[in-house]
Structure 1
Amino acid sequence: MHRTIFTTPVVSTLLRGFSLAWLRLAGWTVQGQLAPEARKSVFIAAPHTSNWDLPYTLFAAFALRLTPYWMGKASIFRFPFGGLMRYLGGIPVDRSKSSNLVSASAEALQAADGPVQLIVPPEGTRSKTVYWKTGFYWIAATAKLPIVMAYMDYPRKLVGLGPLFTPSGDIEADMAQIKRYYAQYKGKNSDQFTHE
């Protein structure tokens, strides 16, 4: 995995202090902590309904002492912001090309020599969508890693880490259980998020 702002020693320490102060001043509460067995894991990032989700996710990641990488559409990695997005932990995904993203992501997670959390929004977009993409599930199952059910609730100003989830292989039953968990949270644009 490439070097990021989270793995740059002095910078990450300073930004953790800033993030904790900013979240506190903005009225947000950070909940949970990363379990030792989830040092390498796949994070669900839901609900994902706004561009504001990225900065809040970054602040929360510093506050929780995470080593996150996140997937974003390739267009946000174009000049002049591409280098910055990668430094913030971004990994570009070209949705127009068919590639084996699941295998490549699972291999990268297994090969990483330190802690790494791959953040994947199941909706795959900030726009309203009825169906969740299952990439996060198959990446975790292939890499034999836990899924961390991370959340962001705008009305209550809560951000944090929920329980760990281990894929059973029965994707329909597992997805139903995961979606039931997320029914309690609302995104910034709550009408764009469905847990059905």
Structure 2
Amino acid sequence: MSDPGPAHRRFSGDTLVVASHNPGKVREIADLLAPFGLSRVISAGELDLPEPEETGTTFAANAELKAHAAAVASRHPALSDDSGLEVHALDGAPGIYSARWGGPDKDFGLAMARVNTELGDAADRRANFTCALTLAWPDGHRETFEGRVFGDLVWPPRGEKGFGYDPIFRPDGHPITFAEMEPTAKHAMSHRADAFRQLVAACFATRG
């Protein structure tokens, strides 16, 4: 990879905090980080860090808020993801409220049912996942990248391998949903992988 240049800060430590309490999301991020030889990847949940209130109005703003809070509290660089499903016929909803559509327990079975109910008989079932990734350092510096993957929505939900809205999202060019795919196949094309590729090119280019 080419040198990222002076505009980006390279990650040079061996410990990284994943600023999330979502086990599925932590597992995906840890898998993506595996090639970089970090000796310690630990989640905010394992450190018992409080979850900051997501007051941002965009994925990027919420990712930055969570990464900064975890970096300051842990005194280690922290990587945060804010992601969600944007349904075109619903004007981009649920968007940044994707988890909240599942109610106080973040029940994605309920959330998926709500999406399907609100779509009703709409012919347009196009959607995309968006992911904002922020890498933040305890001194306040941060790097943010956004990725997307496009597809359409199916009903009823299919597959057991994913999490969140994966059972109803079928990516373009594939007959199966994210939840029916092997994790390695999903990681290769997901919105999180898209954002992660940008992060790696900018901040991890000299590692290895």
Q: How does the TM-score come out when normalised to structure 1?
A: 0.30
Q: Structure 2 length normalisation: TM-score?
A: 0.29
Bigger RCO (CA 8 Å, 6+ sep): 1
